A and B are shown apart, each in its own frame.
Chain A
Amino acid sequence: MGTEASSSQAHAQPATGEPSCAAAETVAPRSVRELFVAFSWLALQGFGGVLAVAQRELVEKKRWLTREEFTQEWAVAQIMPGPNVINMAIVLGGRHFGWRGALASVAGMLTVPLLIVCSLISLYGQIDHHPAVAGALRGMAAVSAGLITATGIKLIAGLRGNVLGRLACLLLGGLCFAAMAWLRLPLVWVLLVLGAAGMGLAWRRLEP
């Protein structure tokens, strides 16, 4: 790990091939080592889920993806089996450095957190009865909930160039929110029905 890849292709095109002014602002990761370090750092900041941090690090700081690309890659990572952040790491690492990039990204995501969580489990018996510890964990969980909500709000800006148009985007996003948060329908069905509807509409609007 850590060798410079010879074929570090520039990230010239957005993943969709859509004309997007933001795409020119992205850069490619320089090496497999950079992927490993970036995903380690990203995972270490992610309490109760890594997604919010992933958006900040990959889009806002590293500029490896635009908001638009992030949302679209996220959609793929979400619909495939497997943990979505790990899937995202595989896609991003694999695109730039093949299987070595994917492996480095996943290893970065898992190695240090695995060591931490296994150490914590050994300590857990001694601290679990302290009420302040339980309260602190609940406070952190509440912050994580806010992080994820804010990430969703920020990604709305990436929908601007979407072929679906503003109204359909609002309708699909709103229906998904209502189905999940309010009606508590199973995720698979929500994704299947709304995803298919959005996909069908996008298919009709895209030029053949």
Chain B
Amino acid sequence: MISLTPMDWLQLMLHFGLLSLLGVGGAITTLPEMHRYLVDRQQWLLDEQFNVSVALAQASPGPNILFVALMGWHVGLNAGGGWLAPLGALLTLGGIMVPSSLLMYATGQWLHRHRQMRLIRAFKQGLAPTVIGLLIATGTIMASAGAATAGQWPVWLIAAVATVLVWRTRLHILWLLGAGALAGAFFLA
């Protein structure tokens, strides 16, 4: 059990607000810093709770950024539970979302107003192939991370079949996820 003063809660939110603007390439890149702050320095969170927050957010529907809310939830639980858990979740999620969202909104509107500018057209078109390479690399990295923990060929096979089906058919993604869950329950357990 830990106890947090109102100042501590404010600090929690502000710290995530700071990380919000540093998370280029997704908040996941600031994960080591979150660990340093929450687990090592403030000791508001146990190692295990930190890991569960990340894993569970990945396994549940919605943007992965929700792992930040789960960290806040756990801080609230450790501080006494009850309404403190949702409070923690809202503070950390709000902290990580608001600054980057305001910046993106302003930038997005500006880019759209000046979309005919040569610099902006060069920026968007010049980056496009790199972003596509990044996507394919991300899928490959995710599959190889899964293969490392859960047996080599079944993971690669499931990922490859899913790739072909999404690419070539209009099969609904929820069917694919259901089939993946079923296959995993039998072959990856």
Measuring CB to CB, which residues of chain A are less than 8 angstroms from any residue of chain B?
Answer: 13, 15-18, 43-53, 56, 60, 68, 71-87, 90-91, 94-95, 99, 102, 106, 109-110, 112-114, 116-118, 120-121, 124, 128, 131-156, 158-159, 162-164, 168-170, 172-177, 179-181, 184, 187-188, 190-191, 194-195, 197-203, 206-208
Contact = CB atoms under 8 A, between A and B. Distances in A.
B39 to A, nearest CB: 17
B63 A47 contact: no
Interface in B121-154: 121-144, 146, 149-150, 154
A156 B131 CA distance: 10
22 contacts: A43-B61, A44-B61, A49-B58, A52-B173, A56-B173, A80-B103, A90-B108, A94-B105, A99-B105, A113-B60, A116-B60, A121-B70, A140-B177, A142-B180, A145-B142, A147-B162, A152-B134, A156-B132, A176-B130, A181-B137, A190-B134, A203-B126
A153 B61 contact: no
B73 A152 contact: no
Nearest to B70: A121
B129 A169 contact: yes
Contacts, number: 402
Contacts of A15: 112, 115, 124
A87 B183 CA distance: 33
Interface residues of B, number: 103
B45 interface: no
- Dominant SS among interface residues on chain B: helix
A194 B182 CA distance: 40
- Dominant SS among interface residues on chain A: helix
Contacts of B46: none
B63 A109 contact: yes
A109 B62 contact: yes
Given A53-B173, A145-B140, A16 B115 contact: yes
Interface of B: 20-27, 29, 52-53, 55-66, 69-70, 73-74, 85-86, 89, 93, 97, 99-101, 103-105, 107-109, 111-112, 115-116, 118-119, 121-144, 146, 149-150, 154-156, 158-167, 170, 173-174, 176-177, 179-189
